[in-house]
Amino acid sequence: MNKIDQTALVDKRAHLEDDVTVGPYAIVEKEVHLAKGVSIGAYAHIKGNSYLGEGTLVGTGAVVGEVPQMLGMRQTEGKLYIGKNNIIREYVTIHTATKAHCSTTIGDNNFLMGFSHVAHDCKLANNIVVCNGSLLAGGVEVGDRAFISGCVVVHQFVRVGKLAMVGGLSRVNQDVPPFMMVVGDSRVWGINLIGLRRAKFSRLEIKKIKQAYKIIYRKGLSSKKALAELESIESEKVKEISLFILSSKRGISGPKKSSLAEKLFLDYPYFIRSKILTYDRFLESRKNKNYL
């Protein structure tokens, strides 16, 4: 039996499987397919040609299956496919694809936190975390178990590799290779060591990924020479990195390098930033100019 609140609006042409819950004032439109055990929160709006897989939870006020945000596009026949056991929290927005034969795709066991955005034609794999306020532009691809921290912006068509981590407030406009950690303006600062350990990578695997990182980002080699040197490492994980780089169309994120502004507001830990006398200087300038 389904549990549909009396204030919810569910189109009779929508396909609801067993044990579906639809909360107060939620809207489910005609082409939507909700699989077994899906839960739709209050005021959420599920629309478009959208499929939500088993056990997926949609939070309060989320908008799933909206038309892509493109100039001149008022409607689309594109699809949205969401797999099993995803958590889509409050006020998340997810858009359908731009063309009838295409889909925006989200795999299984992903966690999209509040106010995050997944644009048209994105491809998200499995077990991904996208934190509050992060924005994925059109055509972005994210690999298995990647972690995107809060308020990150990812440029259209960028790929974030498997088990990569993107630090909070980062701006990502180039591909992030698998297993790497990006901070700031598309800069790779090291490998995602915590993520690799949680994924139960062996010490030997981690050692070889570190070796690959040093070849790519520490030796100052050209891409051609770095890839040639990576071939000498006997590791399936390193081969994944090499294949990712070879298939990149936007180029990969660069080595650690920061402007002064990034050092002050992104890179330095809080206990250092908190000692910067910006506010005191502001008060002093007001005093000198005789502001009220």
Residues that are catalytic: 120-121, 138
Token pair, residue 259, equals 């402007």
Helices marked H in 152-259 = 193-198, 203-217, 223-230, 236-246
Two tokens at 239? 């081969």
Question: Is 176 within 8 Å of 163 (Cβ atoms)?
Answer: no
CA–CA dist 46, 28 (Å, integer): 5
Q: Give the DSSP H/E element, type plus range, for residue 273.
A: helix 270-273
List, as own/partner pairs, every contact residues 201-210 make where C-beta atoms lie below 8 angstroms and the sequence separation is at least 24, other chains included.
201/237, 205/235, 205/237, 208/233, 208/234, 208/235, 208/237, 208/238, 209/179, 209/235, 209/237, 209/238, 209/241
